[in-house]
Amino acid sequence: MKYIEAIAANVNDLKDGDMRQVRVGEKEVLLNKLDGKFYAIGAHCSHYGAPLAKGVLSGHHVVCPWHNACFDVTNGDQNQPPGLDALACYEVRVEGENVIVSVPENTTGLRSPDMAQFDPNIDGRTFVILGAGTAGTHAAETLRTAGYQGRIVMITKEDKLPYDRTKLSKAYLAGKASPEEMPLRSPEFYDEHHIEVLLNQQVKQVDTTAKKLTFSNGDSLSYDALLVATGGKPRQLDVPGADLRNIFTLRSFEDANHILTAAESKGRAVVIGSSFIGMETAAALTQQGFDVTIVSPDDVPLKKIFGEQIGKRFQQVHEENGVNFKFNSKAVKFEGNGQVETVILDNGDRLAANIVIIGIGVQPATDFLQDVNLHPKDHSVVVDEYLRAADGLYIAGDIARYLDWRTGESIRVEHWRVAAQQGRIAAHNMAGKSVKFRGLPFFWTMQFKFPLRYVGHAESWDEIIIDGDLQKQEFIAFYVAKNQVLAVATSHRDQETAAISELMRLNQMPSIDELRNGKVDFVNRARSN
Ligand SMILES: Cc1cc2nc3c(=O)[nH]c(=O)nc-3n(C[C@H](O)[C@H](O)[C@H](O)COP(=O)(O)OP(=O)(O)OC[C@H]3O[C@@H](n4cnc5c(N)ncnc54)[C@H](O)[C@@H]3O)c2cc1C
Ligand code: FES
């Protein structure tokens, strides 16, 4: 292999705990100094390619500024999702005052994690992963990185290998991502690591005593351990005309493709619901040339999650881009000749529509589970801190209900990164370790050019402290209850967000008085760990 070598820095350029992006030939490298030693790894996050130098170095790991993936800077290992690959690790040496980094000429900056080889003679067990979403995908790969050599079967009712669901309502629907950009891994990857993916297979029943799954075609499959990660199923609107053509929900690749096909003729779109799916879909369809109206029973979009001020800022951004809102309204009927033409609201208003998207939330997809502890509120599965629901049965992602270690409350979240984290933890436990789930919820949204990141979990709060400027979309909002920061929503303050999530994870957030006074240096506080 050919290497490129270059002087990347002077030894005095970096203090302990510093990191910077440097160039070695044409390649970008993240150079770090820890305990007097230099390390060099790939410069860009394996998720969406964020420059890690703009994140936060905390202890031995760097937190990505965009969606909080974490990498060990001494070897490039990824220790927190959402990305799947590790980072390349490069040779560094010091000669005199020069820090010299050596990089393979063909490096991509990424590295596939080391995985155990499938060998049924060594391990004759079958581990089944029901659900090929983010939790399932991370679990399958983690089983191999954790050394499991038995059979892995991942099952999905969809016709696609695992893909990036979060892009559906953003880049994909807006026409900015092609179908080829959606898969999380290539077909060859699953072959190489002997991860069997059964497509188009719906599971109808799980017998947790006999450890057996039954498919809708009557076939069955026995398992030694099972991870159920079946995600959410969109709520339907039970009103007359709801079965007309061109009325959609959005959960799967197939849903998005149906919407795109119907959207070819452009025209008017009505979106029912002003939470994430509704708002993101409205933004994407507007960018596709639709005249979009959002119908919502609320008076401000996203108010229950972010509060009134931030919700109104999202509304303003949508209105500036031409989206109309019908607040305090419900759709009570759809009319049309085979295909939807009119949406009728509870106040009698009639909205012309070529397509309708219903975004009124999801329910945990658990109807095939009988003999486990389902929560009466939403039929999510109650798990212990190891994400276990019964002997040999693990649960991860949108269907898992667990105790939030920060507040002791029973919560369930619908976030991509959390589902990935849980898939990883569940896999470690299936593989024989004893790892507790102690994640900090994190999600992001992007509507037009308004990005928002959210760390923590707050269903209600006493106060929202806002640092920054909502109008400029540069702010941090702290959601406070009983003198504790439960959650933080931020826009265009990415490095501080990474630092805050680190401080929240370590239980080292500044006091509420400090936050009220402003000017807290979150980045330096997180770096000093
Ligand atoms: C359009 C959209 C955009 C989103 N954007 C964001 C975002 O920006 N940020 C964020 O944090 N979160 C976002 N989310 C939420 C995020 O995608 C979910 O939290 C995450 O996908 C949950 O992962 P999961 O593995 O639990 O389930 P899923 O990803 O839903 O995967 C479930 C899997 O189970 C399979 N399945 C279900 N039932 C059965 C059955 N009976 N038999 C066989 N297979 C079955 C499905 O086919 C699928 O493969 C978004 C969600 C959607 C729908
Ligand atoms: S780009 Fe790094 S976590 Fe998304």
DSSP 331-397: EEEEEESSBEEEEEETTS-EEE-SEEEE-S-EEE--TTB-SS-B-TTT-PEE--TTSEEETTEEE-G
Q: Is the dihedral of CA 327, 333, 339, 341 positive or negative?
A: negative
Mutate to test the pocket of ligand 1, among 157, 251, 253 (most ligand atoms within 8 A of CB): 157
**Order of strands across the sheet with 393-395?**
195-198, 151-155, 126-130, 225-228, 393-395, 388-390
Domain limits of the chain?
A: 3-111, 126-233+364-430, 247-360, 458-527
In the structure encoding, which two tokens stand for residue 518, read together? 């402003």
Residue 398 CA, closest ligand 1 atom number? 26
33 lines ligand 2 (CB under 6 A): no
66 lines ligand 2 (CB under 6 A): yes
Rounded-to-integer distance, Cα 252 and Cα 367, Å: 18
| Tens of pLDDT, residue by residue, the chain (529 residues) | 899 999 999 999 999 999 999 999 999 999 999 999 999 999 999 999 999 999 999 999 999 999 999 999 999 999 999 999 999 999 999 999 999 999 999 999 999 999 999 999 999 999 999 999 999 999 999 999 999 999 999 999 999 999 999 999 999 999 999 999 999 999 999 999 999 999 999 999 999 999 999 999 999 999 999 999 999 999 999 999 999 999 999 999 999 999 999 988 889 999 999 999 999 999 999 999 999 999 999 999 999 999 999 999 999 999 999 999 999 999 999 999 999 999 999 999 999 999 999 999 999 999 999 889 999 999 999 999 999 999 999 999 999 999 999 999 999 999 999 999 999 999 999 999 999 999 999 999 999 999 999 999 999 999 999 999 999 999 999 999 999 999 999 999 999 999 999 999 999 999 999 999 988 999 999 987 6
47 lines ligand 2 (CB under 6 A): yes
Q: Which long-range contacts (CB under 8 A, 24 or more apart) does 343-350 make?
A: 343/270, 343/272, 343/295, 345/295
Residue 417 CA, closest ligand 2 atom number? 3
Rounded-to-integer distance, Cα 365 and Cα 381, Å: 10
In the structure encoding, which two tokens stand for residue 47, read together? 């998720």
Q: Is the dihedral of CA 156, 167, 474, 319 positive or negative?
A: negative
8 A C-beta contact, residue 224 and residue 211: yes
In the structure encoding, which two tokens stand for residue 241, read together? 């005309």
| Fold agreement (126-233+364-430, 247-360) | yes
Distance 444 CA to ligand 1 centre (A): 15
What is the dotted CATH code of the domain comprising 3-111? 2.102.10.10
Q: Nearest residue CA, atom 14 of ligand 1?
A: 166
Mutate to test the pocket of ligand 2, among 30, 47, 70 (most ligand atoms within 8 A of CB): 47
Question: 37 pairs with which residues across the strands?
Answer: 34
What's this model's pTM, rounded to 2 decimal places? 0.97
8 A C-beta contact, residue 304 and residue 280: no
358 lines ligand 1 (CB under 6 A): no
Domain 126-233+364-430 fold is FAD/NAD(P)-binding domain (3.50.50)
359 lines ligand 1 (CB under 6 A): no
Please give the CATH superfamily to which domain 247-360 belongs: FAD/NAD(P)-binding domain (3.50.50.60)
Report yes or no for ipTM above 0.90.
yes
13 lines ligand 1 (CB under 6 A): no
294 lines ligand 2 (CB under 6 A): no
Q: Which of 497, 417, 418 lies closest to 452, judged by CA?
A: 497
Q: Nearest residue CA, atom 3 of ligand 2?
A: 67
CATH of 458-527, one of 3.40.50.2300, 3.40.50.1820, 3.40.50.920, 3.30.390.30: 3.30.390.30
Distance 133 CA to ligand 1 centre (A): 5
Distance 156 CA to ligand 2 centre (A): 26
167 lines ligand 2 (CB under 6 A): no
Rounded-to-integer distance, Cα 316 and Cα 305, Å: 17
Which H or E run includes 92? strand 89-95
Rounded-to-integer distance, Cα 380 and Cα 365, Å: 8
8 A C-beta contact, residue 91 and residue 97: no
